[in-house]
A and B are shown apart, each in its own frame.
Chain A
Amino acid sequence: MASYVPSTIKEREEMLKACGVESVDAFFEQIPYELKRKEPLNLPEGQSEMEVSLTMQELASKNRIFKHVFLGAGAYRHYIPAQVKYITAKEEFLTAYTPYQAEISQGLLQSIFEYQTMICELTGMDVSNASVYDGATASAEAVAMCKERKRATAFISESVDPKTLQVIRTYCEANGMAVRMLPLKDGKTDLDILKEELNEEAACVLLQQPNFFGLFEDAEQIGSIVHEKGAKFIMNVNPIALGLMKTPAECGADIAVGEGQPLGIPLSFGGPYLGFMAAKNSLMRKLPGRIVGETVDVDGKRAFVLTLQAREQHIRREKASSNICSNQALCAMTASVYLSVLGSRGLAEVAEQCFSKAHYALERLLEINGFEQKHKGEFFHEFVTVSEVSADKLLSELEKYDILGGLALSEHEILWCVTEKNRKKDIDYLIHAIKEVCEKCS
């Protein structure tokens, strides 16, 4: 049994001492105190299957499932064709975690290879890894890839999702990179300040496209400014928006990353999601995680293999710049099935519908007295409004209409999201509901 006991109290104390913290709790200070359990779990006696199933159903029925959703901010509700679930639920594909002994499992390797190929096609980049945990991890790993001896400052646009930024900060704090924020002008990265601020210590500039406020950034221009200063250009992109907009490669990105959840992965209360990462050939050896390559076996037959392992941490642990050595295999498979079911025309249509419905929703919102668009500029499927009515009040009133509204950014600002799942009549219903709420409030 001894080998199943992970550590003794003495060993734990030694580890804490080595890390320079007082207690295990210090590691989890990110988690708000009130969310932590103070007493031990109060578990009932064993139950029959039927009892458990009833209990779970009762618990599940406490969830409020809204008929209408206009919330995005990093996790998006898209239509998932039935084939996606059917294909990915096949037992052969189901795996709880990263496949080990992967060379044996050719089918699984091929599925990852297909995923990598699609990510490369989608982003226009040369090489993709087999995925990482989520979009925020992918962004932080991309920043870490750019660290050089003389360039150890990451410049991050303030229009990047705040959750992504937190993960980047955590990585940078640990690997000795400085983080500098790039301020905004009208909701987009300020190009003049970018030109001024960027210096010889800049390892990279990370941009989100479309940005947290839904706006399209001037990515191409930013790319050329970044390269002039000899830094790397990282683009965190929404994969659905790639159905409409220029690829990261066309904008001059050195690394393209993003959250793959919109590609057929359900919202599921925030995970598991999928971080995709792709880079130019010149950065291939710095790309973290696993990469599947195509080769031939001794008989000359097409075969798949984990490749470029020399740069991975399990061979060169002490020199590795990343500790990621696993991927989100089933989520990656889901994304590739979703993309192959949709095809390039299908993806473009999803993007077009998101775009045009969001624009229709904004037009209608602006008809309402006291509603204004916060930032001028072209947007994809999210936008920010400023309203006279309090954002929190409006959103809680909308719940009575079975509407989950946008995200309150401040007292009077709301970030809305509209996807292809919101029909015209749903948008009209939202407008009707807001009008009623506003009348009631005034």
Chain B
Amino acid sequence: MEFKKDRSYSKSHEWVRELVADEVEIGISDFAQDALGDIVFVNLPEAGDEVEIGTPFCDVESVKAVSDIYSPVDGIVSEVNEELLDNPAQINEQPFESWLIRVKKIAKREELLSAEEYEALVKEEA
């Protein structure tokens, strides 16, 4: 299992990468994709939508379950990863490349964990 150092992580297993000032990319962690199993469908928001800390912005469907993905920031969706619509399995194969959304105009962030802290959290949960 991989815990990339250039990302920060939420307790609900999303990763966040800083792009430019005031814009981030959000995806789900290697641990999360592994726990979900084969992902068959992603329900993405639209560009221009508002996201809010602790509120689901997207859901991913694996073979027999659907899980909500929570936003770790307050902001506006600037872009969604449309490639995932055709190939949701990409999240299983490359969780760190498969970003779900990009968020701009970030007003607030939740307290995020470093890779080490997140790894410790996952070990505790496992």
B125 to chain A minimum Cβ distance, whole angstroms, is 23
Cβ A285 vs Cβ B66 within 8 A: no
A316-B66 contact in complex given A310-B61, A311-B61, C-beta closer than 8 Å: yes
Interface of A (DSSP majority class): helix
Interface string of A93-121 (1 = CB under 8 A from B): 00000000000000000000000000000
B5 CB within 8 Å of chain A: no
B57 to chain A minimum Cβ distance, whole angstroms, is 13
B10 to chain A minimum Cβ distance, whole angstroms, is 21
The total number of A-B Cβ pairs within 8 Å is 19
Neighbouring B residues of A315 by C-beta, 8 Å = 64-66
Q: In the complex, what distance in Å separates the CA atom of A281 from the CA atom of B41?
A: 13
Q: In the complex, what distance in Å separates the CA atom of A315 from the CA atom of B62?
A: 12
Residue of A nearest to B49 (CB): A149
Residue of A nearest to B63 (CB): A310
Cβ B61 vs Cβ A309 within 8 A: no
Neighbouring B residues of A310 by C-beta, 8 Å = 41, 61-66
Interface string of A258-292 (1 = CB under 8 A from B): 00000000000000000000000000010000000
B34 to chain A minimum Cβ distance, whole angstroms, is 18
Q: In the complex, what distance in Å separates the CA atom of A319 from the CA atom of B59?
A: 11
Neighbouring A residues of B41 by C-beta, 8 Å = 285, 310
Chain B, interface size category, equals: under 10
Neighbouring A residues of B46 by C-beta, 8 Å = 149
Q: In the complex, what distance in Å separates the CA atom of A310 from the CA atom of B59?
A: 11
Q: In the complex, what distance in Å separates the CA atom of A290 from the CA atom of B62?
A: 18
Q: Which of A309, A310, A315, A316 has most B Cβ within 10 Å?
A: A310
A308 to chain B minimum Cβ distance, whole angstroms, is 9
Interface of B (DSSP majority class): strand
A150 to chain B minimum Cβ distance, whole angstroms, is 9
Neighbouring A residues of B61 by C-beta, 8 Å = 285, 310-311
Residue of A nearest to B66 (CB): A310
A215 to chain B minimum Cβ distance, whole angstroms, is 39
Q: In the complex, what distance in Å separates the CA atom of A285 from the CA atom of B64?
A: 13
Neighbouring A residues of B63 by C-beta, 8 Å = 310
Q: In the complex, what distance in Å separates the CA atom of A319 from the CA atom of B67?
A: 11
Q: In the complex, what distance in Å separates the CA atom of A149 from the CA atom of B50?
A: 13
Q: In the complex, what distance in Å separates the CA atom of A316 from the CA atom of B61?
A: 11
Instruction: Scan residues 48-97 of chain B and give those whose CB is less than 8 A from a CB of chain A.
Output: 59, 61-66
A284 to chain B minimum Cβ distance, whole angstroms, is 9
Instruction: Scan residues 301-321 of chain A and give those whose CB is less than 8 A from a CB of chain B.
Output: 309-311, 315-316, 319
A306 to chain B minimum Cβ distance, whole angstroms, is 11
Q: In the complex, what distance in Å separates the CA atom of A176 from the CA atom of B41?
A: 26
Q: In the complex, what distance in Å separates the CA atom of A309 from the CA atom of B64?
A: 7
Q: In the complex, what distance in Å separates the CA atom of A315 from the CA atom of B66?
A: 8
B101 to chain A minimum Cβ distance, whole angstroms, is 16
B52 to chain A minimum Cβ distance, whole angstroms, is 16
A256 to chain B minimum Cβ distance, whole angstroms, is 23
Q: In the complex, what distance in Å separates the CA atom of A310 from the CA atom of B64?
A: 6
Q: In the complex, what distance in Å separates the CA atom of A315 from the CA atom of B65?
A: 7
Residue of A nearest to B41 (CB): A285
Neighbouring B residues of A316 by C-beta, 8 Å = 66
B18 to chain A minimum Cβ distance, whole angstroms, is 29
A281 to chain B minimum Cβ distance, whole angstroms, is 12
Q: In the complex, what distance in Å separates the CA atom of A310 from the CA atom of B61?
A: 7
Instruction: Scan residues 18-66 of chain B and give those whose CB is less than 8 A from a CB of chain A.
Output: 41, 46, 59, 61-66
Residue of A nearest to B59 (CB): A319
Instruction: Scan residues 353-382 of chain A and give those whose CB is less than 8 A from a CB of chain B.
Output: none
Instruction: Scan residues 30-54 of chain A and give those whose CB is less than 8 A from a CB of chain B.
Output: none
Q: In the complex, what distance in Å separates the CA atom of A309 from the CA atom of B66?
A: 10
Residue of B nearest to A284 (CB): B41
B111 to chain A minimum Cβ distance, whole angstroms, is 27
Q: In the complex, what distance in Å separates the CA atom of A149 from the CA atom of B45?
A: 11
A336 to chain B minimum Cβ distance, whole angstroms, is 28
Q: In the complex, what distance in Å separates the CA atom of A330 from the CA atom of B118?
A: 53
B65 to chain A minimum Cβ distance, whole angstroms, is 6
Q: In the complex, what distance in Å separates the CA atom of A438 from the CA atom of B65?
A: 67
Residue of A nearest to B65 (CB): A310
Residue of B nearest to A285 (CB): B41
Neighbouring B residues of A319 by C-beta, 8 Å = 59, 66
Q: In the complex, what distance in Å separates the CA atom of A149 from the CA atom of B48?
A: 13
Q: In the complex, what distance in Å separates the CA atom of A439 from the CA atom of B67?
A: 73
Q: In the complex, what distance in Å separates the CA atom of A309 from the CA atom of B63?
A: 9
Instruction: Give 15 new A-B contacts, CB below 8 A, not counting A310-B61, A310-B62.
Output: A149-B46, A285-B41, A309-B64, A310-B41, A310-B63, A310-B64, A310-B66, A311-B61, A311-B66, A315-B64, A315-B65, A315-B66, A316-B66, A319-B59, A319-B66
Pairs across A and B, CB under 8 Å, 19 listed: A149-B46, A285-B41, A285-B61, A309-B64, A310-B41, A310-B61, A310-B62, A310-B63, A310-B64, A310-B65, A310-B66, A311-B61, A311-B66, A315-B64, A315-B65, A315-B66, A316-B66, A319-B59, A319-B66
3 shortest A-B CB distances, which residue pairs?
A310-B66, A310-B61, A316-B66
- Chain A positions within 8 Å of B, measured between CB atoms, are 149, 285, 309-311, 315-316, 319
